[in-house]
Structure 1
Amino acid sequence: MSTAHDHHIHESRDLAVAAQSTMEKSGEQWTAMRAAVFDALAGFDKPASAYDIAEKLGQAQGRRVAANSVYRILDLFVGANLARRVESANGYIANDHPGCLHDCIFLICDTCGQAKHIDDDALSSRVRAAASETGFSPERPVIEVRGRCEDCKD
């Protein structure tokens, strides 16, 4: 059972504008490099590593881009809710609704690598409560379900 909440899904240029606005509202600058990393990340159709993004940027810019620089920016993006880390894929995806803060449940296709997220605040609240009952202080539940997407299941 999902707990409904409203959020606007941003796409394409609208997503980059929403990301910039979110970053600037948090007091951070939206530099050309941050914009380039975000655009590259948003251009992937499955979780991308810092190395994937650095390679894509390097090809587009005609120069080597250090993965360490990309990692720092991705960490900043995760902290600002512009990106989500998909732990089991060791990659990141752009958050298509950066103004909405909640725990995501990722559905990861073992065949094609696509990662889709769903929102179920009731489930993540139960995970947090179960952890708290043991005396553990949960910070961020990571819920990932591996399997096959609708396109690959046949």
Structure 2
Amino acid sequence: MNHEHHVHEGESLLDAARDRLISSGEQWTDMRSAVFEALAGFDKPASAYDIAEAVSKSQGRRVAANSVYRILDLFVGSNLARRVESANAYVANAHPDCLHDCIFLICDNCGQTVHLDDDSLSGGVRKAAASAGFTAPRPVIEVRGTCGDCETN
């Protein structure tokens, strides 16, 4: 899947997320917007509790983590967010209009997470899965280690 895709940020990311969700037949509600904005505002993967706290502060009322989990599940299914399984946390997808396999590089020291799109790397995973009679439509690969900043400190 080699093609150019536009990485969104700020207002452009919010617009792209809204457009993607609406095109999948879902509504872009005020709460979904608030959850997405909070998620996109984190520089590291955020838990549903982190996001609920951020939305609660911005709206001046308590927002339950259960509500946030439901919205995050919708976002993952709609390609607006990615779930970092090993951290039970989420990151906003900077290009929700493109479907790619997902590779996360996660620093065990500082928690910084880099999201790579390299379908050629996950091709081997797909091939191995297929040879075992297993279908892996969108594999997620997580690599834990030490980021360059922590390595030099």
Normalising by structure 1, we get a TM-score of 0.94
Q: Distance in 1 between matches of 2:62 and 2:89?
A: 20
2:47 to 49, 56, 60: 49
TM alignment of 1:1-154, pairs within 5 A: 4-154=2-152
Moved over 4 A (4+): none
Letter in 2 for 1:52: D
How far, CA to CA, are the matches of 2:40 and 2:119 in structure 1? 24
Q: Indicate if the aligned counterparts of 2:100 and 2:138 stay in contact, CA closer than 8 A.
A: no
How many angstroms apart in 1 are the aligned matches of 2:62 and 2:40?
20
Unaligned runs of 5+ in 2: none
Q: Please say if residues 102 and 138 of structure 2, whose CA atoms lie closer than 8 Å, have aligned partners that are also in contact.
A: no
AA aligned opposite 2:25:
G
CA shift at 1:95, angstroms?
Answer: 0.1
Distance 2:128 2:70 in 1: 32
Give the structure with the larger helix fraction.
Answer: 2
* Aligned equivalents of 1:28, 1:121: Cα separation in 2: 28
What is the letter of the counterpart of residue 132 of structure 2? T
Q: Letter of the aligned partner of 2:148 in structure 1?
A: E
Q: What stretches of structure 1 of length at least 5 have no aligned partner?
A: none
Encode CA deviations 1:111-149: one digit per residue, 9 max, x unaligned: 111111112111212101101101122243221111111
Higher RCO (C-alpha 8 Å, min separation 6): 1
What fraction of aligned residue pairs are identical, expressed as a percent?
70
* SS of 1:151 mapped into structure 2: helix
2:101 aligned partner, one-letter code: D
1:4 Cα deviation after fit: 3.8
